A = this chain, B = another copy of it.
Amino acid sequence: MLDSVLIWVDKNRRRWLEDLQQWLAIPSVSTQQSHDADVAAAAEWAMFNLRGIGLTTELIPTARHPCVFATTPEGLCPPHAPHVLFYGHYDVQPAQIEDGWHTPPFKPTIKNGDLIARGASDDKGQVHAHLTALLAWREIASELPVRLTVLLEGEEEIGSLNLRTVIEQRISQLKSAQALIISDCNQFAPGVPAITCGLRGLMYYQIDVQGPVSDLHSGLFGGAVANPANALVEMLSRLHDGQGRVTVPGFYDDVASVDEALRQQWKELPFTDDQFAREAGITTPFGEAGYTTLERKWIRPTLDINGLWSGYQGPGAKTVLPARAGAKLSMRLVPNQDPQKIAAAFEAFVQQITPLGVTVNLTALGASPAALTPTDSPVMQAAAEALKIGFGQNPVYIREGGSIPVVGWFKEMLGVDAVMLGFGLPDDRIHGPNEKLNLECYYAGIRTAAALYDVLGHKLCGK
């Protein structure tokens, strides 16, 4: 039956692509209130699509953006089919053409075999590959190979603020899940499909520094008034030492050590610093002394400034002594680092290094631990088989530098490990301008998903 499903999905590629483009055209930017209606519209779109598969849909409201929830009605799967949970997100990062996009970010454009749009890779395009595979099973086999629950959230890009609450509310419907499938990640390289077994966590802060009540003239007051921009850069500079290491006391205390054998395996992956530099648009990689590029991305924690602002940013000169300065910064956490412990250490350190003459306000904007998944479970084996069918290659087992907070929460609340198999590529420019999804990867993703649910249906015993 899988063969018929695969033939059908391959034959109707144009249809899937047009359908996905509709979804991508909805600017569901979760962090900006001005896009609230678009976020709602993108959720509606997903509900409509899920009903087309025959699933029973429900919109779960939260304090901010709703979750899309879909379950398998009786008769749509074999009576004892295993219960599989699929998680994804329908919200996207902010994007404006001025950021450097060559085409409008919400006008999906096909160029050189890529589909270019905000959300193409992160995560609408990958979610859509699963929805398409499920639709194919419904159309060709009249039923799904597993008892599926779909949970799509609208707050992944803002730290999944309300997802824990939703999981708690629906714990009775979710706790029987035997597998958790997520496609919000990448292949290792073109032609090298991968299963992601580890993710870094994330802690995000905004720092606001206040100096004088109003902007002042830098000539009349300069030298005699604490400048909040000077103070901010002084503070931020003290968060790293000269070796690229984070100076927050205790930051590295609990960092998990990594097996030498594993580090050796990673060295054999098809990866070069030159290729990484090309993908990143840099001349040479840069980071903490003593680690390879992959290790810096996968198993070392970081502290990056994500935004900076103060005073005059326009053309020419303005001799203002600014009243305020601010920054956004995030820490990527690795296995065994406790977000609460790191948050306490960070906040205490910021207080300690606050210069005289200014006041500093810290706003926490999300915290999640790192995740690590064992590689020897039946679900993992099913994922490997599916990738082999979808991409024609055996997958490699990798980690990822990004963060999917929900992975840790599902583990904690449902006791289920996530299987993360991504259809994106490392150069998809997610969160940046000109985000894309390679069309061949998208189609291989549909095939992989079609195979995955089939193999899971056979491998897992239904409860």
Contact = CB atoms under 8 A, between A and B. Distances in A.
B282 A315 contact: no
Contacts of A216: 280-281, 429, 431-432
Given A282-B212, A297-B223, A316-B31, A308 B233 contact: yes
A213 B100 CA distance: 10
Interface in A400-449: 400-403, 426, 429-434
Contacts of A233: 232-233, 236-237, 305, 308
Interface size class of A (residues with CB under 8 A): 35 or more
A224 B286 contact: yes
Interface in A310-352: 310-323, 325-328, 330, 332
B227 A317 contact: no
Given A222-B401, A233-B233, A366-B317, A94 B307 contact: no
Given A240-B230, A317-B159, A318-B93, A287 B31 contact: no
A356 interface: yes
A322 B432 CA distance: 9
A229 interface: yes
Contact of A282 (B211, B308, B318, B332): B211
12 contacts: A30-B316, A157-B317, A159-B317, A200-B219, A219-B401, A221-B280, A223-B401, A224-B296, A225-B280, A281-B323, A317-B366, A319-B431
Interface pairs A-B: 10 shortest CB-CB: A219-B402, A213-B281, A237-B237, A31-B316, A229-B305, A286-B357, A223-B302, A226-B286, A308-B310, A215-B432
Given A222-B401, A223-B288, 6 more contacts: A31-B316, A32-B316, A215-B431, A237-B238, A281-B323, A307-B313
